[in-house]
Structure formats: C-alpha cells, structure tokens
Amino acid sequence: MIPRYSRPQMAAVWSDQNKFQRWLDVEIAACQAWAELGRIPAEDADRIARHASFDLDKINEYMAITHHDVTAFLRSVSESLGDEGRFVHFGLTSSDVWDTATGLQLRDASVLLLKDVDALTSVLEKQAAKYRDTLCVGRTHGVHAEPTTFGLKLAVWVDEMRRNRLRLEAARDAVAVGAISGTVGTHASVPPELEEFVCQRLGLGLENASTQVIQRDRHAQFVTTLALIGASLEKFATEIRALQKTEVREAEEPFDEGQTGSSAMPHKRNPELCERVCGLARVLRGYAVTSMENVALWHERDISHSSTERIILPDACLVLDYALTLFTGVMERLTVFPEHMRENLDRSYGLVFSQRVLLALIETGMSRQDAYKIVQRNAMKSWNERIPFRQNLDADPEVTSRLPAAELDALFDYGYYLQNVGATFERLGL
C-alpha cells in the first residue's frame, strides 16, 4: 500500500520485519513443543528460543538464490544458532509456518480495526444524539418524501456499525487459527499434539482439518467482511457528498484554513475526503472477489492464492484502517446546517404532509382511492404551479367539506414527526 494510505501501527503489522518475526515465533513454539514431546533436547529448544534471529538483508540475498522465501529465512536463522539449529523447522512444511504466522498477523490487524470501528461508532453515537431532533427532509429516490431528523439518519449508521463490529469479531475468530499438520495435512511428520501445543502457545485457534494449508474460506470471510465494512463507509460518505451539494448544503465535511478545493476555481469546497472513502471501498470489493477465488485450490494445495494474498491481506487491512480513521475525522468535525435543512423542507411547498392529509380524509369515511386522487391532484398542482400545498387544499371543497381549517392546521405540523423518533434512540441505548 502506498505510504499516503498507510497508518504506522497497521503498516508495522504487515512489515517484512514483523512477518519474519511471526515466522520465527512459530518455529520457536514448534521447537518448544518437540522438547515437550521428548523428541529434541530441552536445552536445545531453550537455546533456540533465546538466540534464534534473522537478518532481513541476508534473507533477501539468499532469496535471490533459492527463489523461496521460507528456505531463505531458515538459512538466515541457522546462522544465528549452533548445532541446535538443525531442529528449526523439524518436521514442518512451509505452509505450517506461513499460514500460522499469517493468522497471528490477521489477529493483530483485527485488534487495530476493531479499535477503528469503535472510534467511528462512538463519534456517530455522539452526533446522532446531538442532532436527534434536528428536522430535515427525508428523500426517497432523491425526491422529498416526509420529514425525518438528521440524528435518526445517523442512528441508522450507528446500528450498522455495531453489526459490522460483530461481523469483524466473527471474521477475526475464523481466521486467527494455526495449522501444523505437515505436507498434506496428515500429521505424518508432526503429531497433532505438537500442533495443539503451538496454537495454544501462540494464542490461536486450531484448524481441525487441514490439507497442508489452512482453508481459504476463512480468509475469504475475513476479506469480504472488510469489504462489507467498506461498503458501509461508502454508503455513509455518499450521503455526506449528496448533502454537500450546493443546491442542498445541509452538511459539509471539514475544510481547513489554507486548504484548496480546485486549482482553477478558488471558491470550491469539494467533498474530497468522502470521495476518497468511496474510492477505497471499491478497492476493498475487488480484494473480496480475489479472496473468494482463492478458496478453490487444486487437490490438497497449490500456491495460486499465495501471490494474491501477499497483496490483498496487507492492503485490505491497511485500506480499511485508513478509511475508517479518515471518515471518523469527517464525522467528528462535520459541519451541519440546520437552517438549510429547514429551508429545504419548505422547498417542496408543504407536500411532505400529503400522507397525513390522505389518512385524515380516509378517517372521515372516504375511500382510499378517492382520497388518493384528491390529494394527488392538489399535490401535482403545487408541483406544476409552484404554490403551497395548503393553499390548494383550502381552495378544494372536497377537502374543506370534510376537514375544517383547524384540522388542516394540525396536519401541517413538523412536530408530529418528532414524537416517535425517541423510540429508535431508546432501542439503541442512545
């Protein structure tokens, strides 16, 4: 991932230094397990645990010769040890180390992503509560529908992010597993007891049945979960972008002093942060497709997944970590214009009250079909002639004969739409 979209903590998880350290953690745990089983001397396992190390430059040098990163890594590790070095990688195959270490990296990445999710959820909760009763127009198909509140819009996002947290926890648990089962998963060269010891020592779950590799449905679940969280971010960011349109201007992402929106037009204040979030969500969806294609490997294994995972696993974590943090900053410093929201509510001539008039006419005994025709006729006149809906109703004897002015007054009340908003907030504990 390019440095611009890489945050330091997540980048550290996926650095070569940390990757090879995790490989070494697996190798050391395996040696300790062999010692527990009495297959290698305890003092040799202890020396390996205390002295084993690697040199990144040497690994790269040896890889140019071996064209195999695990053998290059093992050669470097052996140079840090004496005779006891012969027990490193004893009975193991490359995927035992690679896949188990990847489980450690994905677990560590999940810790950071869960913190990111919590940070965004917390900001959304605060903003939802702040704007709980801030009226704005609800739009369906992009057209004015009925009044809602900006806080309720954000409360929906809160609930979605809480679901995303549950998904991410499940995906973490699915992928934070290890497998030390040998060349085709039969445990012919490494007993199941060793596998159990290593996974327990490293704090990983156990792949109950493997074929040398941990099954890639687990990784697909993880990456698709990240993509789904990205899709939520895109949904939220798209809404902010739409609300920032000049004709709407109900909310606006942060714009700092000295910032420029256009090289040509000094007046521009573009929603570029939200647009960036939307673009990165598309990248995550591409990774999700690749992760699903990695599930089908030939027979017990091939390495068609390996080349893609070197890209999609680190980058998916880095992209989502960055996007979550970016959008959290947007929502934390979001500028909201309640006065514009009210102006926009009034822009459709009071037509947002059409359902209330429809229901009131039905309650007088009129059929739904007849009531609908009357309300729609008056509504279309408002659209076409740009005059208030209430004015048309007052001039329609089919309405006034059933609904006196006082009753119509009561129908045209924005407060009506606030009376039950609190129920959603109670359900969410906000």
What confidence score (pLDDT) does residue 263 get? 75
Alpha-carbon torsion (238, 240, 245, 248), positive or negative? positive
**344 residue type, one letter:** N
Question: Encoding tokens for residue 76?
Answer: 């470097």
Residue extent(s) of CATH 1.10.275.10 domains in the chain = 1-90
Q: Which residues pair with 139 in a beta bridge?
A: 144
Neighbours of 93 (CB within 10 A): 20
Question: Encoding tokens for residue 240?
Answer: 């902010």
What confidence score (pLDDT) does residue 289 get? 97
Is 262 designated active site? yes
Q: Which residues pair with 205 in a beta bridge?
A: 177
Helix axes 150-175, 421-428, angle to 10 degrees: 30
Please state the length of the chain: 430
**Burial (0-12, 13-18, 19+ Cβ within 10 Å), 265:** exposed
Neighbours of 166 (CB within 10 A): 9
Question: Encoding tokens for residue 92?
Answer: 């193991």
Give tens-digit pLDDT for 130-176. Answer: 999 999 999 999 999 999 999 999 999 999 999 999 999 999 999 99
Which of 364, 349, 359 shows the shortest CA–CA distance to 416? 359
What confidence score (pLDDT) does residue 184 get? 93
Neighbours of 295 (CB within 10 A): 14
What confidence score (pLDDT) does residue 259 get? 80
The single residue of 67, 141, 267, 299 carrying the catalytic annotation is: 141
CA distance linking residue 142 with residue 348, whole number of Å: 13
Residue extent(s) of CATH 1.20.200.10 domains in the chain = 96-184+203-344
What confidence score (pLDDT) does residue 262 get? 72
Burial 207-237 (b: 16+ CB within 10 A, else e): beebbbbbbbebbbbbbbbbbbbbbbbbebb
CA distance linking residue 230 with residue 142, whole number of Å: 23
Is 181 designated active site? no
**Which portions of the chain are predicted below pLDDT 50?**
none
1-90: CATH topology? Fumarase C; Chain B, domain 1 (1.10.275)
The single residue of 262, 304, 307, 367 carrying the catalytic annotation is: 262
Residue 228 per-residue DSSP state: H
Out of 1.10.40.30, 1.10.260.40, 1.10.10.10, 1.20.1250.20, the CATH code matching 351-411 is 1.10.40.30
Alpha-carbon torsion angle 269, 272, 274, 280, nearest 10: 180
The most distant pair of C-alpha atoms in the chain lies apart, rounded to whole Å, by 103
Is beta strand 251-252 parallel, antiparallel or unpaired with respect to 177-178?
unpaired
Domain 96-184+203-344, CATH class in plain words: mainly alpha
In this prediction, what percent of the chain has a pLDDT beyond 90? 93
What confidence score (pLDDT) does residue 327 get? 98
